């Protein structure tokens, strides 16, 4: 079990991201709910009318009768376009300003409460500056009928036509106004008409709002340690924050609306004098403030949704972060190979040499888990490496370059065809004491040696013994292959241990029998197949193998592995039948591949062909043009009878990428890719990688 004390804290970027997403959602939902009230508020703010609830209700009823129910949400499109980026920027900026001002801990909040206000105010300034033109458009739509402004775009087009672009930025920062006014045909200041009172107003509104909410949360955490506020408490905090924030800024909200919707209002002080003179101090600057305080609705909803959604998002982030942390913690308990740097350089050089080729990493053989650092005893995941070594040859044959990561003394490509005894038996001593290879062996080895000589520059062999070495090398090579994109493949045929002994728990020297019965505690190896795709090599075509001893659960387990790990293909095989029957499980279906003794063919040959086709199909779908034909291979095609695979139909295509100097044929399913001719030999075939 990995300790997560403090390790589950999110990074600053993750905190900002959750605030951004939660703010956008909360702002949209909250403003949509109170849109009819908001339109009523704006109407009274911009008219020389005294507010009362009867008049407000009458306005809503008349609007409904005149233009229908939908008209109560008129201007909400502009609100959505504005409020989603506004709320997202506001909440994420607040998180960033808290970080920059070191307003992160409760102790800091108590010692420097003013910084909470400053962080909130700055967040309001940033979000308001970014979205102000949309607020102007929303206000104009709210106080007009559909005949005047059909939609959001009409507001901007009519404003530009009647008042010029320059009027849209009125009131913005003087230097920006001067700059914009020098551009005769593209002046933007009109979009920011009323911006200064808005900016002045948003400082107390946003500052006091965030300050109040954060302070109430802090008081709650001090009273109820390790207890999150319940929904009613969150609603109360949001109501208080909205009430205080809007009370502090409401007069400037009146000024802002007048300047946005009436051209006779030019300045902040002039607007305030005119409103007070004509409507009075209270009725003018706090007109319909009870309706305007949409904090019991909008702000409460927004604060509540932000906190709930952000909590959910942060939980998800923590889970994802915890997964990555668990993997990193696991690797910290392993022993890094002493030659990791030299192997990294070797792999980089190999990839550079074969930069134009498809490259596949094939893992093969079983891993060991040593009991001691100076290893004498270990647990072995036994595997001869047949699948991996045979597959490597067939990948080379169809033009791939191969990185072969294999267990020391397990089977290797090409040399697997003769064991030591067979090799000695194949040698003959002539009368003149010369050693010769028997004719039978020569015939057998000739095509193997020819293929080896043609492909030896495209084969890189790297060995491992322990689980530690295997995982370090797998991660390192996967990170390098990530740069290959669709030209890279991971073909994970190694038998990897599910259990390990942390390095700190291993004995240094040989465990002595005199110490009594051996009791060893194994930890479970984290599932690295998921981070392999997610963190190390997300764009690489990945194939893994699933071995079971119970065939009845094989397909189900393979499908589950495919979904859990996000691989492109899982090859399912049962222990006793794996040499003549496998099932290829993909996202959409599964395909059974079988061979018999009479076929005189290795099943790995068919596996590699199907893998090649599935990778070709996947990458071709993502590319605008078919992959370039490899200079090493040519794919030939002809229709032949296939009695071995009746489920494929009588007519199948011989479609095997092969060296130009050699045509070896066998049957595979029809491919839909167009036929092309090879520039070297003129043979017609299917375009391959």
Tell me the residue length of the chain.
689
CA 43, chain centre distance (Å): 45
pLDDT value for 462: 97
Q: What is the mean pLDDT of residues 128-156?
A: 61
* 496-523: burial string, b at 16+ Cβ within 10 Å, e else: bbeebbeeeebbeeeeeeeeeeeeeeee
Indicate the DSSP class of residue 416.
Answer: G
| 183 pLDDT above the threshold of 60 | no
Instruction: From 560, 524, 538, 564, select the one nearest 327 (Cα to Cα).
Output: 524
pLDDT value for 176: 35
Cβ atoms within 10 Å, residue 258: 22
| Residues 402-454 pLDDT 10s | 999 999 999 999 989 877 667 778 788 888 888 888 888 888 888 889 999 99
pLDDT value for 675: 37
pLDDT value for 295: 44
* CATH numeric code, 332-599: 3.40.50.10300
| Residues 575-596 pLDDT 10s | 888 889 999 999 888 999 999 8
Range among 164-173, 523-532, 648-657 with highest mean pLDDT value: 523-532
Cβ atoms within 10 Å, residue 415: 12
pLDDT value for 479: 92
Cβ atoms within 10 Å, residue 392: 31
| 568 pLDDT above the threshold of 70 | yes
Instruction: From 126, 142, 154, 155, select the one nearest 46 (Cα to Cα).
Output: 142
Q: What angle do CA 586, 590, 591 make, to 5 degrees?
A: 120
| 178 pLDDT above the threshold of 60 | no
Identify the CATH class of 12-318.
mainly alpha
| Residues 101-116 pLDDT 10s | 776 554 555 555 677 7
| 304 pLDDT above the threshold of 70 | no
Taking the C-alpha atoms of residue 360 and residue 477, their distance in angstroms, rounded to an integer, is: 10
Phi, psi of 436 (to 5 degrees): -125, 155
Residue 638 — very low, low, confident or very high, per pLDDT cuts 50/70/90?
A: very low
Taking the C-alpha atoms of residue 589 and residue 455, their distance in angstroms, rounded to an integer, is: 34
| Residues 448-482 pLDDT 10s | 899 999 998 999 999 999 999 999 999 999 999 99
Q: 332-599: same fold as 12-318?
A: no
Where in the chain are the domains?
12-318, 332-599, 624-686
| Residues 608-618 pLDDT 10s | 999 998 887 76
One DSSP character per residue, 551-579 reads: GGGHHHHHHHHHHHHT-SEEEEEETTTTT
Taking the C-alpha atoms of residue 142 and residue 72, their distance in angstroms, rounded to an integer, is: 9
pLDDT value for 125: 80
| Residues 370-399 pLDDT 10s | 998 888 888 888 899 999 999 999 999 999
Compute the mean pLDDT over every residue in the chain, rounded to the nearest whole number: 71
Taking the C-alpha atoms of residue 449 and residue 440, their distance in angstroms, rounded to an integer, is: 14
Taking the C-alpha atoms of residue 645 and residue 593, their distance in angstroms, rounded to an integer, is: 9
Taking the C-alpha atoms of residue 222 and residue 272, their distance in angstroms, rounded to an integer, is: 43
The percentage of residues in the chain with a pLDDT greater than 90, rounded to a whole number, is 20
Taking the C-alpha atoms of residue 118 and residue 206, their distance in angstroms, rounded to an integer, is: 9
| 136 pLDDT above the threshold of 50 | yes
End-to-end C-alpha distance for the chain, whole angstroms: 45
Sign of the CA dihedral running 212, 218, 222, 227: positive
């Amino acid at each position: 079990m990995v300790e997560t004390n403090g390790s589950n804290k999110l990074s600053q970027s993750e905190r900002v991201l959750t605030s951004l997403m939660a703010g956008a959602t909360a702002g949209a939902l909250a403003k949509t709910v109170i849109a009819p009230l908001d339109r009523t508020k704006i109407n009274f703010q911009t008219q020389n009318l005294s507010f009362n609830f009867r008049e407000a209700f009458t306005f809503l009823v008349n609007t409904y009768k005149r233009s229908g129910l939908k008209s109560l949400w008129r201007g909400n499109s502009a609100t959505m376009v504005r409020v989603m980026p506004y709320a997202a920027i506001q909440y994420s900026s607040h998180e960033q300003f808290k970080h920059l001002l070191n307003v992160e801990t409760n102790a800091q909040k108590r010692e420097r409460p003013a910084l909470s206000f400053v962080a909130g105010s700055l967040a309001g300034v940033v979000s308001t500056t970014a979205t102000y033109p949309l607020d102007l458009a929303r206000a104009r739509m709210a106080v007009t009928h559909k005949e005047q402004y059909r939609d959001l775009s009409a507001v901007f087009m009519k404003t530009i036509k009647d008042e010029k672009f320059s009027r849209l930025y009125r009131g913005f920062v003087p230097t920006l106004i001067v700059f914009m006014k020098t551009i005769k045909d593209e002046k933007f200041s009109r979009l920011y008409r009323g911006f200064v009172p808005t900016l002045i107003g948003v400082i107390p509104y946003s500052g006091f709002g965030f300050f109040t909410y954060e302070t109430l949360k802090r008081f709650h955490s001090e009273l109820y340690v390790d207890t999150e506020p319940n929904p009613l408490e969150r609603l109360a905090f949001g109501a208080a924050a909205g009430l205080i924030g809007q009370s502090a800024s409401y007069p400037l909200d009146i000024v802002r609306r007048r300047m946005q919707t009436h051209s006779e209002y030019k300045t902040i002080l002039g607007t305030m004098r005119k409103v007070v003179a004509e409507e009075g101090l209270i009725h003018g600057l706090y007109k319909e403030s009870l309706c305007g305080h949409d904090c019991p609705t909008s702000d409460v909803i927004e604060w509540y949704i932000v906190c709930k959604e952000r909590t959910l998002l942060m939980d998800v982030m923590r889970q994802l972060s915890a997964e990555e942390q668990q993997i990193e913690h696991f690797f910290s308990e392993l022993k890094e190979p002493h030659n990791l740097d030299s192997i990294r350089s070797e792999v980089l050089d190999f990839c550079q040499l074969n930069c134009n080729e498809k490259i596949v990493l094939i893992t093969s053989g079983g891993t060991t888990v040593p009991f001691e650092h100076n290893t004498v005893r270990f647990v072995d995941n036994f595997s001869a490496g047949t699948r991996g070594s045979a597959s490597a040859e067939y990948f080379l044959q169809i033009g791939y370059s191969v990185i072969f990561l294999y267990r020391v003394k397990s089977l290797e490509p090409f040399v697997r065809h003769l064991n030591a005894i067979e090799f000695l038996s194949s040698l003959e001593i002539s009368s003149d004491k010369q050693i010769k290879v028997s004719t039978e062996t020569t015939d057998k080895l000739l095509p193997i040696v020819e293929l080896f000589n043609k492909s030896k520059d495209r084969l890189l062999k790297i060995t491992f013994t322990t689980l530690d070495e295997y995982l370090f090398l797998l991660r390192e090579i996967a990170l390098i292959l990530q740069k290959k994109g669709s030209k890279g493949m991971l073909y994970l045929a190694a038998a990897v241990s599910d259990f390990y002994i942390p390095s700190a728990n291993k004995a240094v020297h040989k465990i002595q029998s005199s110490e009594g019965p051996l009791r060893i505690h194994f930890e479970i190896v984290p599932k690295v197949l998921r981070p392999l795709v997610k963190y190390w090599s997300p764009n690489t075509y990945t194939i893994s193998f699933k071995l079971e001893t119970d065939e009845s659960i094989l397909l189900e387990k393979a499908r589950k592995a495919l979904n859990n790990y996000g691989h492109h293909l899982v090859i399912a095989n049962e222990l006793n039948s794996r040499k003549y029957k496998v099932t290829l499980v993909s996202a959409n279906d599964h395909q059974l591949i079988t061979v018999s003794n009479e076929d005189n063919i290795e099943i790995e040959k068919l596996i590699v062909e199907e893998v090649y086709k599935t990778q070709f199909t996947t990458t071709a779908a993502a590319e605008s043009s078919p992959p370039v034909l490899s200079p090493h291979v040519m794919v030939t095609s002809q229709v032949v009878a296939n009695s071995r695979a009746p489920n494929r139909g009588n007519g199948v295509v011989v479609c095997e990428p092969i060296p130009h100097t050699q045509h070896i044929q066998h049957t595979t399913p029809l491919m839909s890719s167009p036929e092309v001719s090879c520039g070297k030999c003129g043979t017609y075939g299917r375009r391959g990688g």
